Copies of this chain bind each other. A is one copy, B any other.
């Protein structure tokens, strides 16, 4: 069946499987100290124009978020995030499990507004009782957000400026980073993004890898003994090669961004089809996830022919659903989607 359910429905980009197969019997040291990890890190440093970056490979997104956040917060601090931020909703309380509160601020199509962030921080520190409250110790944003939207360079710059003013780090969850950077609306590239935050991760799982997220501390600013923290969180693979080889391939000849761009092209075609069919959009997303409003009758009728993801109820008779493209979406599938619709 035709599926636009998500961007992790297929395995890995074929070049990754080839590299895993080619290197399979090489004997390599464990825990990320192999040459593939070293090489991948060097290529990521170049792609980000961050020669001093500390880079660590972890396995999945929730794990990466919890590990990075816990490593940066002091015990009395929490992490500020949009109300719809992944860490506050769909990570089963992984951040709280490390002892830290997620401090929600309002969201606008998944994004934090810089002025509202400033106001939140100013209000907190001027509150006479703030020593009885959880301190905002860092800011978390996702790029793109859970609603597919992206921050402009100006917005990101404003948020980063506020964080520096309050001396708290800014962390960007880049589970779908490629799709954000390659969005037609994006005015950011990897070096710009790296310069406008304190730590971010380059999502592999949803952009062509079997698994794997590359955490980047752009200015060599990883907390001391971050590797031990990674181990403590159960996130250190014995066969670190599995991650090193994948990111080595993804950052050879710009593959990561190339396949992300392809997904965006497919998304733009898909948007055209949805628009052409008069299907209303729930919001304007410039990335690979599209959110549309279907009548419940249509949901029922269509779901026997095409896969999509239930998102939320819109009203008594309508539902918001997600159609996603990915690096692996065959163009042919779009033709078939048009026919079905």
**Known A90-B132, A238-B8: A21·B17 in contact at CB below 8 Å:** yes
Cα–Cα, bound, A128→B23 (Å): 27
Query: Would A133 and B90 count as touching, CB distance under 8 A?
Result: yes
Q: Does A157 lie at the interface of the complex (its beta carbon under 8 Å from any beta carbon of B)?
A: no
Q: Does A25 lie at the interface of the complex (its beta carbon under 8 Å from any beta carbon of B)?
A: yes
Q: Does A99 lie at the interface of the complex (its beta carbon under 8 Å from any beta carbon of B)?
A: yes
State which size class the interface on A falls in.
35 or more
Q: Does A170 lie at the interface of the complex (its beta carbon under 8 Å from any beta carbon of B)?
A: no
Of B20, B25, B30, B62, which contacts A210 at CB under 8 A?
B20
| CB-CB nearest in chain B for A25 | B10
| CB-CB nearest in chain B for A96 | B101
Interface flags for A211-254 (1: CB within 8 Å of B; 0: not) read: 10000000000011101110111111111011000000000000
Of B67, B99, B211, which contacts A242 at CB under 8 A?
B211
Query: Would A132 and B100 count as touching, CB distance under 8 A?
Result: no
Interface window among A68-76, A190-198, A256-264, A287-295: A68-76
* Chain A 3-59 residues near chain B, CB threshold 8 A: 3, 5-6, 8-12, 14, 17, 20-21, 23-31, 59
Count this chain's copies in the assembly: 4
* Chain A 152-177 residues near chain B, CB threshold 8 A: none
Q: What is the distance, in angstroms, from A293's C-beta to the closest C-beta of chain B?
A: 18
Cα–Cα, bound, A190→B99 (Å): 35
Cα–Cα, bound, A201→B274 (Å): 47
Given contacts A9-B28, A63-B233, 15 further A-B pairs with CB under 8 A are A6-B30, A9-B29, A17-B20, A60-B236, A62-B236, A64-B234, A66-B234, A76-B229, A90-B133, A91-B132, A92-B232, A96-B100, A132-B231, A135-B225, A206-B238
Interface residues of chain A, those whose CB is within 8 Å of chain B, are 3, 5-6, 8-12, 14, 17, 20-21, 23-31, 59-67, 70-71, 74-76, 78, 89-94, 96-102, 128-129, 131-135, 205-206, 210-211, 223-225, 227-229, 231-239, 241-242, 307, 310, 328
9 A-B Cβ contacts within 8 A? A11-B23, A12-B20, A63-B234, A74-B223, A74-B224, A91-B231, A132-B231, A133-B228, A205-B237
Per CB-CB distance, the 3 closest pairs between chain A and chain B, nearest first, are: A63-B234, A11-B24, A93-B134
